[in-house]
Amino acid sequence: MSGLRARVRAELTAEIKRLARAQMEAQGPNDLNLRAIARELGMVSSAVYRYFASRDELLTALIIDAYDELGRTAEDADAGCDPADTVGRFVTVATAIYRWARTSPSQYLLLFGTPVPGYAAPIDTVAAAIRVTTVLQHILDEAGRQGATPAVAPIVPPTVQPDLATVRALTDSTVSDQLLLTGLQSWTAMFGAITFILNGQFRNVVGDVDALFGAFADLLARQVIGARHD
Amino acid sequence: MSGLRARVRAELTAEIKRLARAQMEAQGPNDLNLRAIARELGMVSSAVYRYFASRDELLTALIIDAYDELGRTAEDADAGCDPADTVGRFVTVATAIYRWARTSPSQYLLLFGTPVPGYAAPIDTVAAAIRVTTVLQHILDEAGRQGATPAVAPIVPPTVQPDLATVRALTDSTVSDQLLLTGLQSWTAMFGAITFILNGQFRNVVGDVDALFGAFADLLARQVIGARHD
DNA sequence: GGCGCCGCAAGAGCACTGCTCTCGTTTCGG
DNA sequence: CCGAAACGAGAGCAGTGCTCTTGCGGCGCC
């Protein structure tokens, strides 16, 4: 096992993914071109199929890698924070996610952009996707333990209560329905803002989008963790 | 002018767009297939180019139409509201937008999904895009006139103040920077939530996404229009 | 060590795409 | 009424994802 052949294979697999990422970064996340990758590798297109059975399979591998990078980015950012400062943690993690998204927009859009046509995310991606939300949820858990209450109390629809319960179970926390629902809202708002900025939806409207996102992140954190009564 | 030929041309143009929309709805917004449209029309592919010079031009036309539909949807929803009930107006408009997005997801994603590769939205689309935001801004203006204040006061970065000023000028309103920034945040949060739901990001997490969105909309409205001191 | 198997790259080829060009025909407007 | 413009058909070009066959090379087993 682990002969020369296996090593070469691993290297080539990584190289293909690297080139694929570079290509997406250069010309949008949607037109991943197997033949161009093969060309850059000095191979013929059919040879690439020895490493990835199809374009979708390569895409899946890239998605998993991206989820992992995103998760690691969030974890690293959170690790450098004062654990008790939940507002600071949220802002720090949000900023780190935003920076990563700006650095490699095509990878971010691979995860949160429009899914490619006919592509159904395999189960493999789910595990990788949980990582970043776990970080966010841990912050929420800590806030809950500190007795935090959202600035505006949401109305929790009865039909989503079971869903909240399963989400809560992921980190076996004890946050209230209201805090959890507000947290969910803030997370989608954060990812939504990043997607908006990346897609250029604020073009010709807001110049300093970095500052805008910073203001959003701060606002979101304080909307979720509004008051603390012990 | 307006001879038989012109009428046939207008009809065929509309028919091409109709088929394009149907095709997108059937198999994702990204693979708009000119040849398939020509086939369904009983024409040869080159004939379609008499009506749209390129795939991008057809796409642009569809985008403008979609922005118009979205704007009209928002306007109609707002028209049926008590003008003074700003929270109710926001929730009503948001719900109408959400319903439209669920009805024709590919059209919504055409506007708020990942832009197609290499496609730069022409100026024509900008005018159409303003319509829906104008509705939302009018609601915010009314709230401002009533002396509303956001539930959590945002920190307004100095660099975005001029941007806020230009946004404010669009409806020559007098809302405060804080209210306007919070409004901007709520709008991106709303569109972000819809995009999340449409992209299936909540799959296997939340079952009743309709109820979830309703809760989000209500929460957002009350976060923006928090207190009123006259 | 040798041998057979399997991984590998190459090349041709299929069905498809967006788009261009040419060529008769039809329709409109001065 | 007649030339110009608009139109549809068809062939064709360059490109795509993917398949199949054909040799060549490293690998493990006896």
Chain B CB contacts of A218 below 8 Å:
154-155
Q: How far in angstroms lies nucleotide D16's C1' from the CA of residue A33?
A: 8
Residue from the list B182, B191, B215 with its beta carbon closest to the beta carbon of A157 = B215
Inspect the interface and report whether the beta carbons of B212 and A182 lie closer than 8 Å: no
Q: How far in angstroms lies nucleotide C21's C1' from the CA of residue B50?
A: 14
Q: How confident is the model at residue A26 (pLDDT cuts 50, 70, 90)?
A: confident
Say whether A227 sits in a helix, a strand or coil. strand
User: What pLDDT score was predicted for residue A126?
Assistant: 78
Chain A CB contacts of B167 below 8 Å:
205
> Are the CB atoms for B24 and B6 separated by under 8 Å?
no
Mean pLDDT of chain A: 91
Inspect the interface and report whether the beta carbons of B206 and A163 lie closer than 8 Å: yes
Residue from the list B126, B184, B211 with its beta carbon closest to the beta carbon of A159 = B211
- Render the burial of A123-152: b for 16+ CB within 10 Å, e for the rest: eebeebbebbbebbbbbbbbbbeeebbbbb
Q: How confident is the model at residue A229 (pLDDT cuts 50, 70, 90)?
A: low
> Are the CB atoms for A125 and A71 separated by under 8 Å?
no
Residue A161 in contact with partner chain B when CB distance is under 8 A: no
Q: How far in angstroms lies nucleotide D17's C1' from the CA of residue A46?
A: 10
User: What pLDDT score was predicted for residue A121?
Assistant: 63
Q: How far in angstroms lies nucleotide C23's C1' from the CA of residue B126?
A: 41
φ and ψ at residue A42, rounded to 5 degrees? 75, 20
Spatial CA neighbour of B56 closest among B119, B136, B130, B132: B119
State the Cα–Cα distance between residues A198 and B115, nearest whole angstrom: 10
Inspect the interface and report whether the beta carbons of B207 and A116 lie closer than 8 Å: no
Q: Which of A98, A110, A114 to mutate to test the interface with B (most CBs of B within 10 A)?
A: A114
Inspect the interface and report whether the beta carbons of B185 and A219 lie closer than 8 Å: yes
pLDDT, average across residues A54-70: 93
> Are the CB atoms for B94 and B139 separated by under 8 Å?
no
Residue B220 in contact with partner chain A when CB distance is under 8 A: yes
User: What pLDDT score was predicted for residue A120?
Assistant: 58
pLDDT in tens, A161-200: 999 999 999 898 999 999 999 999 999 999 999 999 999 8
Spatial CA neighbour of B191 closest among A196, A111, A182, A211: A196
State the Cα–Cα distance between residues B134 and A166, nearest whole angstrom: 39
Q: What angle do CA A145, A147, A151 make, to 5 degrees?
A: 125
* B-chain residue closest to A161, CA distance: B206
> Per DSSP, what are the bridge partners of residue B228?
B148
Say whether A54 sits in a helix, a strand or coil. coil
Q: Give the helix/strand (H/E) hosting B62.
A: helix B55-79
Say whether B169 sits in a helix, a strand or coil. helix
pLDDT, average across residues A22-42: 89
> Are the CB atoms for B163 and A205 separated by under 8 Å?
yes
State the Cα–Cα distance between residues A45 and B168, nearest whole angstrom: 54
Q: How far in angstroms lies nucleotide C3's C1' from the CA of residue A2?
A: 22
Alpha helices in A29-158 (DSSP H): 34-41, 45-48, 55-79, 86-103, 105-112, 123-145
pLDDT, average across residues A83-93: 98
The lowest-confidence range among A60-74, A125-139, B2-16 is B2-16
> Are the CB atoms for A114 and A199 separated by under 8 Å?
no
Residue A56 in contact with partner chain B when CB distance is under 8 A: no
User: What pLDDT score was predicted for residue A119?
Assistant: 58
Q: How far in angstroms lies nucleotide C27's C1' from the CA of residue B23?
A: 32
Say whether A15 sits in a helix, a strand or coil. helix
pLDDT, average across residues A107-130: 77
For residue B200, is pLDDT > 80?
A: yes
Q: How confident is the model at residue B127 (pLDDT cuts 50, 70, 90)?
A: confident
Say whether A115 sits in a helix, a strand or coil. coil
Inspect the interface and report whether the beta carbons of A151 and B113 lie closer than 8 Å: no
- Render the burial of B162-172: b for 16+ CB within 10 Å, e for the rest: ebbeebbeebe
Chain B CB contacts of A195 below 8 Å:
192, 195
For residue B1, is pLDDT > 80?
A: no
- With both helix axes pointing from N to C terminus, report the angle between B86-103 and B123-145 in degrees, rounded to the nearest 10: 150
Residue A195 in contact with partner chain B when CB distance is under 8 A: yes
pTM here is 0.94
* A-B contacts at Cβ under 8 angstroms: 169
Inspect the interface and report whether the beta carbons of A193 and B195 lie closer than 8 Å: no
For residue A118, is pLDDT > 70?
A: no
Q: Which of residues 23-42 of A touch B (CB under 8 A)?
A: 27-31
C-beta neighbour count of B1 within 10 angstroms: 3
> Per DSSP, what are the bridge partners of residue A39?
none
Inspect the interface and report whether the beta carbons of B193 and A195 lie closer than 8 Å: no
Q: What is the DSSP letter of A106?
A: H
User: What pLDDT score was predicted for residue A31?
Assistant: 79
